[in-house]
Copies of this chain bind each other. A is one copy, B any other.
């Protein structure tokens, strides 16, 4: 592999001059020699060595992103798309993504090792929740990072998040517009931050429509199919006139749970019961009937995260305000909510 030295010899100049040309330093080299150097570069097929460059500038131009292991029975609905776009925008900004495996019980040592050794310049973290240890850890050590997801209200750090409440709010508004008046919510447990946001949008939507909210309409479970079935069982145990005609769920997976057990009980999705999911997982469109759900704008989020990271890395050291961006998700209407109630012949 040719080095800068070879280029210098070939062009008959010093290596300093070559470096100036390569880095487009203005007013440092005459137009004539600039041309000569470029010609030499082309002639011997030179590409600068990234490692040497990084050593000199004490950076790595690598951004670490932890790849969360998902239990085999779970889907990580949007993380693969997110990673793709993250890589895409990072490359536009002259960085690359280093993906690493993060241990669920004890994530900190990997972050420590990667930053201490100079492997990465910054991190993108996701899958945050209340009390996320990584945030305090990274802040304490002044390691640049941006989070996809919020954490404790008192903590101040750079984050970008999907406005979950807006998503469920849109779902409720849509159901109301179809004529539904008894709308349930199948959510996650109290320990989930994202689950809390999504629940809040639901509550807000009912209130805005002037609809009552029965406590039995709110089911709290986990990220699995079973929670969906359990939610449905709870709803069906209610007296006829309190029984919900539609369910907003906290995720597509829970929506599937509701849907599958409803079908097994002979209910028809879209007429007997309307269902709205959350995530727009790739498979949601292939369900029968296709699932109406909330699409997370992961592409946009990846773009914003890289933008904020660039700012952080450029202004490192200098005081800077923390950035918080909430991006609205979008309701994707498919047929799991059927037609407006008023147009049905019941």
Contact = CB atoms under 8 A, between A and B. Distances in A.
A24 interface: no
A67 B98 CA distance: 12
Contact of A75 (B67, B118, B282, B288): B282
Interface stretch (A11-19, A77-85, A177-185, A319-327): A77-85
A97 interface: yes
Assembly stoichiometry (copies): 2
Contact of A98 (B62, B88, B101, B283): B62
A68 to B, nearest CB: 8
A139 interface: no
Interface residues of A, number: 51
A281 interface: yes
A176 interface: no
Contacts of A58: 51
Contacts of A83: 67, 80, 83, 99
A314 interface: no
Most buried by B among A62, A69, A225, A282: A282
B285 A283 contact: no
Interface stretch (A124-132, A156-164, A204-212, A256-264): A256-264
A97 B63 CA distance: 12
A54 B113 CA distance: 16
Nearest to A45: B116
B87 A117 contact: no
A197 to B, nearest CB: 24
Contacts of A281: 283
Contact of A51 (B48, B76, B113, B118): B118
B117 A49 contact: yes
Interface string A44-72: 00011111101100101010000101100
Interface of A: 1, 47-52, 54-55, 58, 60, 62, 67, 69-70, 73-76, 79-81, 83-84, 87-88, 91, 96-101, 113, 116-119, 225, 253, 256, 259-260, 263-264, 281-283, 285-286, 288
Given A80-B83, A87-B99, A264-B288, 15 more contacts: A1-B118, A49-B117, A49-B118, A51-B51, A51-B54, A55-B55, A67-B83, A70-B84, A75-B282, A75-B283, A87-B101, A91-B101, A97-B99, A256-B286, A283-B283
